[in-house]
Structure formats: structure tokens, C-alpha cells
């Protein structure tokens, strides 16, 4: 086995350094790392040390504090700290409730002139897009007979890598195991050739969803919209 000089000179993350990173992460993102997560953080940040040819976590922390004025590397670190486990139609009873109760009620109120034919949904920690696209498919099914409605879904996450993945709308087939078969046939395109084993959502689904990077602790709050439904399940 061969190693680069930088890799061979790496030193581990100390307890005091872990506390520094933990405080920095909490202050910037609100993510609270437990005492027993030191090994996990060390493993996740090691690739950044190697990418920057830095032999120690102390040097990396100093770089974040003093040599990253635009926050580019800070965002790279945040992307590695966040946890992004999600699935299509996770906790499907939430979507059933929307289909059977919430959305029909909104449609009835609009028909009586009690509200506009307008629907705004926010997926507040959207990860790689499975949640907002599940919402979009649910909307397509319920509002199929309501062509006049103005419908938009905002999908936000602090992690820029997962935002990019969500915008691509391409997934491995095994990620769609929880998608009902009739929705899978209606809203997904199956890959072939070099894309075999992958699926892509159809434009009529993706056009409902807008992805944005968002830090809940941003002092300049960029959202000024009334939402009818907010999914805040992955925070």
C-alpha cells in the first residue's frame, strides 16, 4: 500500500479540536454534535484535509477561521457534516393525509371563493429531492382536475451537494422501491444504455419544484412567502 506524503503525516482529531469544530458547526448551522461523534467527524473531514494537503485538523480549523473569507471551504465542511438519509414517500401516511384531507379542503374552499387557487409548499430540509418530488407527485394526482391552480414547491437544504443531486432528478432504481407502481409508471423515465439502472423524473413533476440553498441561521432571511404546507421532517 502506498500513501502520499500528506496522508502519511496526518494526525488524528484531538478532543479539544473536536470541541472547536463542534462549536463552529453549531454556531454556523445549528447542528449539535454529541460527544460520541468525534470519530465520525474525523472520518468525514479527513477527505478535506487530503484535498487541501493539510496534515492536521488544527491547521484545517485555522484555515476555516482565517483564510476562508467567502466561506467556500466552510460550505464544503458543512456538506460533509450533514446527514441526508431520505426516501420517496417516507412515512407515507403524511402524504395520504395531504391527499385525503388537506388538499381536498383547500380545493373546496377555493371553489367557494374563500381562498385563491394558489398552493405553496415548503420542503424545509429537502436533502436529495425525494421529499419534494413525492409532494409534487401527490399534488399532480390530487389536482389533476384543477387546471387553474398556481402551484409551487420550494425545496431547501443547507447542503449544496444534495441540492445539486435533487436538481438532476436522477436516481438509482432501488431508491424508488417505496414509490407506488402507478406513480412509478406515470412520472418516471427509465434509463437505458449508460443510464441503465437509473430513473429520471418527468418534467411535469420537476417543473413544480424549485431548489434553493438555505441556512436556517442566516440573519438575512431570504424567504418572504406564505406557505399552505410546510414539511420540516429532516431537521
For the stretch 181-224, pLDDT in tens is 999 999 999 999 999 999 999 999 999 999 999 998 888 888 88
Q: Which of 81, 111, 133 is the last residue in one of the domains?
A: 81
Residue pLDDT, tens place only, 88-141: 999 999 999 999 999 999 999 999 999 999 999 999 999 999 999 999 999 999
Angle between the N-to-C axes of helices 57-66 and 72-81, in degrees from 0 to 180, rounded to the nearest 10 = 130
Confidence check: pLDDT of 231 > 50:
yes
DSSP state of 119: E
Same domain as 103, residue 25? no
Q: What is the CATH number of the domain that holds 187?
A: 3.40.50.150
Give the residue from 47, 81, 115 where a domain finishes.
81
In a domain, 64, yes or no: yes
Q: Given this model, what pLDDT does residue 8 score?
A: 47
Could you tell me if residue 165 is inside a domain? Answer: yes
Q: Which residues of 211-226 are buried (b: 16+ CB within 10 A; e: fewer)?
A: beebbeeeeeeeeeee
pLDDT digits (tens, 9 = 90+) for 152-161: 999 999 999 9
Q: Is residue 105 part of a domain?
A: yes
* Residue 200 counted as domain residue: yes
Residue 86 domain-assigned (yes or no) = no
Residues 142 and 207 in one domain: yes
Residue 116 lies in a domain: yes
Q: Looking at the structure, do residues 165 and 225 belong to the same domain, yes or no?
A: yes
Tell me the C-alpha distance between 17 and 41, whole Å: 11
For 205, the domain range is 92-231
> Among residues 51, 81, 111, which one ends one of the domains?
81
Name the domain count of the chain: 2
User: Is residue 138 domain-shared with residue 220, that is, in the same domain?
Assistant: yes
Tell me if 142 sits within 8 A of 95, measured CB to CB: no
Distance CA 169, CA 128 (A): 9
107 shares its domain with 163? yes
- Domain contains 139: yes
Name the pLDDT band for 1 (thresholds 50, 70, 90). very low
- pLDDT single digits (tens) 31-41: 889 999 999 99
> In this predicted structure, what is the pLDDT of residue 10?
63
Paired with 157 in beta bridges are 213
Looking at the fold, whether 70 and 101 belong to one and the same domain comes out as: no
Closest to 191 measured CA to CA, from 183, 182, 200:
200
Same domain as 77, residue 96: no
Residues noted as catalytic: 44, 157
Beta bridge partners of 211: 155
Q: Which residues contact 235 (CB under 8 A, 6 or more apart)?
A: 124, 125, 216
| Cα(49)–Cα(12) distance, integer angstroms | 11
Amino acid at each position: 500500500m502506498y500513501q502520499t506524503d500528506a496522508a502519511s503525516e496526518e494526525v488524528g482529531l484531538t478532543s479539544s479540536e473536536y470541541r472547536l469544530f463542534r462549536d463552529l458547526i453549531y454556531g454556523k448551522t445549528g447542528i449539535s454534535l454529541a460527544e460520541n461523534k468525534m470519530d465520525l467527524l474525523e472520518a468525514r473531514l479527513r477527505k478535506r484535509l487530503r484535498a487541501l494537503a493539510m496534515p492536521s485538523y488544527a491547521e484545517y480549523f485555522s484555515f476555516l477561521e482565517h483564510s476562508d473569507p467567502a466561506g467556500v471551504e466552510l460550505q464544503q465542511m458543512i456538506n460533509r457534516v450533514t446527514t441526508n438519509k431520505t426516501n420517496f414517500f417516507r412515512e407515507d401516511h403524511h402524504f395520504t393525509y395531504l391527499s385525503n384531507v388537506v388538499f381536498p379542503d383547500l380545493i373546496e374552499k377555493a371553489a367557494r371563493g374563500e381562498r385563491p387557487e394558489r398552493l405553496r409548499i415548503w420542503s424545509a430540509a429537502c436533502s436529495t429531492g425525494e421529499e419534494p418530488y413525492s409532494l409534487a407527485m401527490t399534488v399532480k394526482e390530487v389536482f389533476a382536475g384543477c387546471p387553474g391552480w398556481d402551484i409551487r414547491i420550494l425545496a431547501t437544504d443547507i447542503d449544496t451537494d444534495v441540492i445539486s443531486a435533487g436538481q438532476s432528478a436522477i436516481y438509482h432504481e432501488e431508491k424508488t422501491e417505496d414509490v407506488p407502481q402507478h406513480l412509478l409508471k406515470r412520472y418516471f423515465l427509465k434509463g437505458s444504455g449508460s443510464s441503465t439502472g437509473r430513473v429520471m423524473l418527468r418534467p411535469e413533476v420537476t417543473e413544480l419544484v424549485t431548489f434553493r440553498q438555505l441556512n436556517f441561521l442566516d440573519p438575512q432571511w431570504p424567504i418572504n412567502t406564505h406557505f399552505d404546507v410546510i414539511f420540516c421532517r429532516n431537521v
